[in-house]
């Protein structure tokens, strides 16, 4: 998997041999608490990345924004990992988790743009019928982003690291949400590629609050 997106996003498989140090910096940041790796050492993260690379039912990808590493995406089969016993999966269900790189700069539209790029790639596989997300129930910003790209919340589930709001996005809902945003951008003249973004400070992190992409 390697895709380029009109908004400047791209995805490629994570290389556990050369990029574990980068992932270590991200998952040990306070904003990544829900990944349960706050005290992980670099060897811990290296082993985790190697395990994911060797796994049958999950894989990891590095998300790039304008060529710069910007987020981590994990794709998994909910029949076997993460959500086993928490809901009844349907044929074609694919789970995903995203983690944004810690940053003190806010880029307008970054979260929805990255999530759109991820869903576009997942739905490029004809076998994918629904994408499953599991954001922390307290993360209202994540719920709003998910809804904007076509997710619909369904039920609460209790995971070891959080109480999650199980949400689903079908291929049709994603297509409809993408078309609606494109129409709004065309009418307002504010597409994703309209000039460079204006950096501004991010909202300070609060305990229990995930990053934009902590699905």
| Tens digits of residue pLDDT in 156-195 | 999 988 899 999 999 999 999 999 988 887 887 655 443 3
For residue 180, what are the contacts with CB-CB under 8 A and spacing of at least 6?
A: none
| Tens digits of residue pLDDT in 119-140 | 999 999 999 999 999 999 998 9
The Cα 201–Cα 103 span in angstroms is 9
91: helix, coil or strand? coil
164: helix, coil or strand? strand
If pLDDT is split at 50, 70 and 90, which confidence band does 200 have?
very low
Give the pTM: 0.80
Q: Where are the alpha helices (DSSP H) in 55-189?
A: 110-123, 140-149, 171-188
For residue 189, what are the contacts with CB-CB under 8 A and spacing of at least 6?
A: none
Q: How many residues does the chain have?
A: 215
Q: Which helix (H) or strand (E) holds 95?
A: strand 93-100
| Tens digits of residue pLDDT in 39-98 | 898 999 999 999 999 999 999 999 999 999 999 999 999 999 999 999 999 999 999 999
For residue 20, what are the contacts with CB-CB under 8 A and spacing of at least 6?
A: 42, 45, 46, 49
């Amino acid at each position: 998997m390697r895709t380029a997106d009109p908004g400047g996003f791209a995805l490629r498989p994570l290389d556990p041999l050369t990029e574990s140090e980068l992932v270590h910096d991200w998952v040990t940041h306070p904003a990544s608490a829900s990944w349960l790796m706050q005290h992980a050492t670099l060897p811990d993260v290296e082993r985790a990345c190697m395990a994911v690379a060797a796994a049958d039912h999950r894989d990891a990808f590095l998300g790039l924004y304008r060529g710069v590493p910007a987020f981590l995406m994990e794709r998994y089969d909910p029949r076997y990992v993460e959500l086993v016993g928490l809901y009844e999966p349907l044929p074609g269900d694919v789970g995903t988790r995203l983690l944004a790189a810690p940053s003190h700069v806010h880029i307008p539209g970054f979260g929805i743009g990255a999530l759109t790029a991820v869903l576009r790639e997942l739905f490029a596989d004809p076998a994918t019928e629904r994408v499953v997300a599991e954001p922390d129930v307290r993360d209202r910003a994540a719920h709003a982003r998910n809804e904007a790209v076509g997710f619909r919340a369904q039920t609460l589930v209790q995971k070891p690291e959080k109480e999650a709001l199980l949400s689903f996005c079908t291929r049709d809902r994603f297509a409809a949400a993408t078309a609606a945003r494109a129409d709004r951008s065309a009418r307002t003249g504010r597409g994703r590629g309209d000039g460079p973004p204006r950096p501004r400070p991010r909202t300070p992190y609060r305990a229990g609050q995930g990053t934009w992409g902590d699905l």
